[in-house]
Each structure stands twice: as structure tokens, then as C-alpha cells.
Structure 1
Amino acid sequence: MTSPLTYDAVIFDLGGVLVDWDPRHVYRDLFEGNDWALEAFLSEVCSPDWHTKLDGGMSFAEGMAVLTAEHPHCAALIDAYDWGWPQMFRGEIEGAVDVLESLAAQGMPLYALSNFPAEKFDAFVASFPFMRHFRDVIVSGREGLTKPDLRIFELAVNRFGVTPQRTLYIDDRAENVAAAVAIGFRGHHFTGPEGLAKLF
């Protein structure tokens, strides 16, 4: 088992690592159990590519106006992506937050690097007390850069003042971990709290 002293710092992703985020938490009720229609909506209307634009700095007002013009018959469902945003979070991923809390108690320098819409971030911070443990956070929507763009990881090196080879980066998306590793970070592809706990 690796000691946390092996690392000089740890950088966490947020959604999918420390919190359970999924738009399906809102849309399952709206689609009344029609999983096929729900998945079609999230792949063709409020798609991952569209959401990435929100993560990259596009405002919800602009993003939703574009989609509503393209899919006027889905206007009410598109609107739910905004008003339903808080309900897309189903709480902490407890085992992972336990690891974060343990590292914080040991004095480990902790940071976060997240693809996240800028205008929604302050409310998120207010909702999750574990955010107090981070010395700094890079939010993609504020920087106009999204993972896995290598430039956002280079920004993390410079802003956090960390040495990649001595820093662990944790993310639930393999492509983001690969990008971090490409510039020298030690990476962990998060698939559950148990695997994360074994690192420390």
C-alpha cells in the first residue's frame, strides 16, 4: 500500500469522483420511465458536446437559446437543464469524500480541477462542505479550457505550484487521466472509493 507521503499534493476532479452528478437524476421523472426517449434526448439535444460548451464558458442563456432554436418542440425539456441543475447532484460519494477528509487531516495539499459551468459553481461550493479542504480550484468555465485539453493541466501546474511527478491526479474519465499523465502527473482513473482508498 502506498503512503500518502509519496505525493506532495493531490488534485481531485469533482463530478463522478466526490459527488454523484448525472442529468438523468432530473430527466427520469420528466420522461416518466421512457428510458429510450431520455437517452435520445441526452445524446441528440442536451448532448455531451453541447454540455462541453457550457463547461468551456458558454452561458446557460446562450446555450439554451441555441438548442431551443434548433429543437423548439423540446423547449420545456431544455429549460429543465437550467432549473433542474441542483437536482442533478445526488450527494457526496461517501468513500471518496472520506479519503479527501483523511488527506486533509494529514495536511496534504489538496486542489480541484473540474469541467464545470462557471455560473453554477458558487452554488455548488455552498452546497458541499468538503470544498473547504481545497487550497485552490480550477473551473473550466472560468478559464475557457476544458479537460482533456493539455493546457488546463499546464495551468494547474503553474497556478497550484505543484510538481507533476510528485502530484496525484484523480478523475473518473480515462481520457482526462491520460492527458494529465501525458504532462507528467501521476494519475488514478477513479472507478470507485475502494480503489482510491488503496492508494493511501
Structure 2
Amino acid sequence: MTAVLFDMFGVIACHQPADACARLEATAQVPGKDFWDSYWGLRQPYDRGDQSGPEYWRTVADSLGVSFDERRTEALIAADTASWSEVDAEMVQFIGELADGGTRIGLLSNIPEELAAHYEKHQPWLRNFEFLAFSCRIGHAKPEPGAYTWCSDAFGLAPEDVLFVDDRQDNVRAAEALGMRAHLFTSLATLKPALAESALRPAGG
């Protein structure tokens, strides 16, 4: 293993907690499945940087048959950003230890611009990464192949010399399809031996 490429949400940062999800539904005034079907079903262009926050929420509103005025849209962007802001302190510490120990690490995250800017402002541990491949800035969002090739190019390495860590099976499989090694993240306890095993395995092995 020459380098490790980390996903952020579900690995280092936390998924949206229930109270934050409830706040989003209340702000939109559209509860339940219909809201989340639109929220996720229309998310990829927003994460990829093809849409701004107001444009994304306009498409969500249109799909739901409602409208969000400017004030409501600003509140939705704020609530959405807050819902993704919690991090795993144990993983943050581990990332710092890897960097201090000389491991080359990069970050690949599906993230819209508003949230990316929020993380850069409030999370100094991001400086541990060799690069930040935020989907909104590289023009590719996982599991699109371009997201992974952008990162291997940023490392200056062949895909097989990169270990990709993500909590979603579809993202892991996409990385493997391009030749990367990959680990489906469930916990730090299972990640550590996977990193050790990959470090001992020759490139391409």
C-alpha cells in the first residue's frame, strides 16, 4: 500500500442524526418519504457542483409540487449543512496519527460547495490530507469513475497502489472496478487490520 483514500461521511464524519433530519423536514414543511426521495434522488448534480444550493432546492421543491421562497431556501441550506457537521473524534485522531506517521492520505467526498466551505472553515484536521477531492470542485461524484481516477492522478500513483475506504458498497465496487484496492468501512477496529494487511501486500498483488 502506498496511499489511502478516505471517504468522509460515514467514515470520518457522521451521517445525519434523526433530530437533524426532523429539522430538515420541518423547515421544508414536507415530512417523510416524499421529502427524502426528492432530497436523495436529485442530489448528485448538487454534489457534483452542477447546481448551487438554491438551484438544488428549487428542483427539490418542483419535484414535491411546492415552492420555497428565498428565506426558506436559505434556512434549508443552513439546516442541511448543520445536519452533516458532526464528526467522529476517534477517526479524526486516527487520521492525524496516519499523517504524522508518514502515510499518504487523500480525501474523496460527495459534498456540495456550501458544506465543503463549512468544513474547510471549521475542521482544521482536513489539513492532514494531501488533497481534498470534493465532488463539487472536481466535477465527479462517486461512484462515477472520474472521481477515482482524479484521485489516483492527484496521488501520482497507479490505481492498484491506492487503498480506498468507504462505507457504501456501491462506491467500494466502483473503485475496485478501476483497479483500486478497497475496504468497506464498518469501524476503526476493522479498518486497522485492513490497512496493515494492505501495507504488506505488493502492488498489484
TM-score bracket for the superposition, by shorter chain length = 0.7 to 0.9
Equivalent residue of 2:91, what SS?
helix
Asked if the contact 1:27/1:38 (under 8 Å) is kept, the reply is no
- Structure 2 unpaired stretches of 5+: 197-205
- Structure 1 residues 106-115 or 96-105, which shifts more? 96-105
Matched, 1:158 2:153: yes
* In 2: Cα distance, 1:31 partner to 1:86 partner: 14
Partner residue, 2:179: 184
Give the TM-score normalised by structure 2.
0.81
Name the counterpart of 2:42: 50
TM-score, structure 1 as length reference: 0.82
Q: CA deviation at 1:161?
A: 0.8
Distance change >3 Å, CA 39–CA 68, structure 1 → 2: closer
Cα distance in structure 1, aligned partners of 2:137 and 2:2: 26
Identity %: 26
Shift of 1:25: 4.2
CA distance in 2, matches of 1:23, 1:73: 25
Matched, 1:89 2:81: no
In the alignment of these two chains, the number of paired residues is 189
Does residue 136 (structure 1) correspond to residue 128 (structure 2)? The answer is no
Q: CA deviation at 1:98?
A: 3.0
Gapped runs of 5+ residues in structure 1?
1-6
Q: Compare 150-159 and 108-117 and name the one that shifted more.
A: 150-159
CA contact (8 A) 2:34 2:64 kept: no
Q: What is the deviation of 1:111?
A: 0.6
Output the CA distance in 1 between the equivalents of 2:41 and 2:62. 17
Counterpart CA distance in 2 for 1:97 and 1:15 is 12
**Of 174, 193, 203, which residue of structure 2 is paired with 1:198?**
193
SS of 1:110's equivalent in the other structure is: strand
- What amino acid maps onto 1:183 in structure 2? L
